[in-house]
Structure 1
Amino acid sequence: MKIVKLNATTSTNSYLRSYTKELSPEADVLVWAIEQRSGRGQRGAYWEAEPGKNLTLSVFKRVEALPIDKSFYITMATSLAVFEALEALGLQQLSVKWPNDILAGRSKICGVLIESIIRNGLTGVIIGVGLNVNQVHFSKAPNATSIALETGRYFDLEEVLNLLIQKFYKYVERIVSGAFEALKAEYESKLFRKDKASTFESPSGERFTGIIKQVSETGKLILQLEDELYKEFDLKELKLLY
């Protein structure tokens, strides 16, 4: 893996998309920015990150052998890699808030944004990761936490990065070997609020109760609604309110 370290950029995902379009690399590329000025999250949300205290990075990986209908397994693998890395650092009460936020308790510690590169089929992905490491004050994200807040210790960013890379390739190998069923089962076992009655909100503002049961292979959330009815939802169709 080639690692490109930047002092500052607007968004590591945007930088890496331009980088790969211009150079078309064959090997994996990781871009790590000490300061990310316009980090993006799911639904276009702003990602707050104090310069020099967190990991804001993106990884480009070619995935030409992976059918496009199995691309959500990349999300599963990335979420599990971050989850396992945080466990190794001593964090507890971790869960994956569908589709790919990592929570410590009820607070968000990591966000993931995955963008596909499609050129005559799925050719690659850009995996953006924002991991709160040593930041302890969050002015724009009141429901955020960090490794330092959860453990009471500060960590070397490069050591945390190397651990993430190690775990990432462990789960990439699961995809390469075709262990899709086991990967999906492990991901589902770590879902936040799984098998618990939860409140959701539709885009129109309507609230309803459902129970998270599983995810589909394409990444849709499968809820059990009233009268034992099961229904699939994508990210734009609902928001989990707890």
Structure 2
Amino acid sequence: MYKIQPNTLFTGKIIKYLPTCHSTNDIAAEMIQSQEVFEGTIIITDHQTTGRGQRGNSWEAAIGQNLTLSLILKPTFLRASDQFQLNVAVSLGVHEFLSQYLPEGLTIKWSNDIYHYDKKLGGILIENTLQGYNIGYSVVGIGLNINQTQFGVATASSLSLAANAAQSYDLNTLLAQLAEKIEKYYLQIKQGYYESLKIQYLRVMYRYQEWHYFRKNGELFLGQIIGIDQTGKLAIETEDEELLYFDFKEVQFVINP
């Protein structure tokens, strides 16, 4: 059971706790459709049976050891063409929250995975509904590995493992801190601070301005990330000085070519 009192205006003031559910994002969407929802509501579970990541990837987590939640926002001030700003704000909020415990090696892997060096700590999945040319509601799904210490894949990690923690973290405390950090950056995009947030995002981006191998259409190429465009596409400069732009899932980061 989650009972928190975050120092926020609205984020996390209402918590809907479900011991188990199929998907917190789906529950949030159902709440929005019923029109019985307040901005900042968090749906959180100990066990998500059909959690998903970006573009249909699955998300698995040990029961009761991590933070698995969805946050309902109402960013009607954002045009649909600017929806990547929400990714930037939420990712920065999660990054700053975890930086309290991991001062080194923490990055945002484009577009919104959280990495500690070359291992994934968590991911963010944002699903928007539109009202005309603007966003109506956003469901921000967040999965963060906290106290879990065993994973089926070698590229996964957790806060506990990364920090070499001697004891488990209190999930209530962490949830309150997470709500506060996300609201901080959400209010900044509401005030239109797009450029300053983009600079912060690039500063903590995984592999930014470093030469690494990538894969597109099954072929390896050497390049460096030089930025993102207004819609969130990733800009990579190749060794031949060609500038390429990629949408989600159009390019793959290669760790060991």
Q: Normalising by structure 2, what TM-score?
A: 0.89
Aligned partner of 1:149 among 140, 153, 161: 161
Q: Which residue is 1:114 aligned to?
A: 126
Q: Which residue is 2:91 aligned to?
A: 79
**More helix as a share of residues:** 1
Shift of 1:24: 4.8
Distance in 2 between the 1:214 and 1:165 partners?
28
- What amino acid is the match of 2:204? K
Q: Which residue is 1:166 aligned to?
A: 180
- Structure 1: 5+ residue runs without aligned partners? none
1:47 and 2:59 are equivalent in the alignment: yes
Matches within 5 A, 1:104-143: 104-121=116-133, 122-139=135-152, 141-143=153-155
Shift of 1:91: 4.6
1:220 and 2:237 are equivalent in the alignment: no
Q: Which residue is 2:20 aligned to?
A: 8
1:183 and 2:197 are equivalent in the alignment: yes
Question: Would you say the 8 A contact 1:91–1:150 is kept in 2?
Answer: no
Shift of 1:238: 1.0
1:209 and 2:240 are equivalent in the alignment: no
Q: Which residue is 2:4 aligned to?
A: none
Question: Would you say the 8 A contact 1:91–1:147 is kept in 2?
Answer: no
Q: Give the secondary structure class of the aligned counterpart of 1:115.
A: strand
Q: Give the secondary structure class of the aligned counterpart of 1:166.
A: helix
% identical equivalent positions: 34
Q: Which residue is 2:40 aligned to?
A: 28
- What amino acid is the match of 2:177? L
Count of matched residue positions in the alignment of Structure 1 and Structure 2: 240
Q: Which residue is 1:230 aligned to?
A: 243
Distance in 2 between the 1:118 and 1:69 partners?
11
Q: Which stretches of structure 1, 4 residues or longer, exceed 6 Å deviation after superposition?
A: none
1:95 and 2:102 are equivalent in the alignment: no
- Aligned Cα RMSD in Å? 1.3
Q: Normalising by structure 1, what TM-score?
A: 0.95
- What amino acid is the match of 1:27? E
- What amino acid is the match of 2:172? E
Which shows bigger deviation, 92-101 or 118-127? 118-127
Question: Would you say the 8 A contact 2:14–2:41 is kept in 1?
Answer: yes
Residues 22-57 of structure 1: per-residue CA shift (max 9 Å, x gap): 125243211001111111112311112001000000
Question: Would you say the 8 A contact 2:80–2:130 is kept in 1?
Answer: no
Residues 97-143 of structure 1: per-residue CA shift (max 9 Å, x gap): 1000110111100111111112334211111000001000012x321
Q: Which residue is 1:194 aligned to?
A: 208
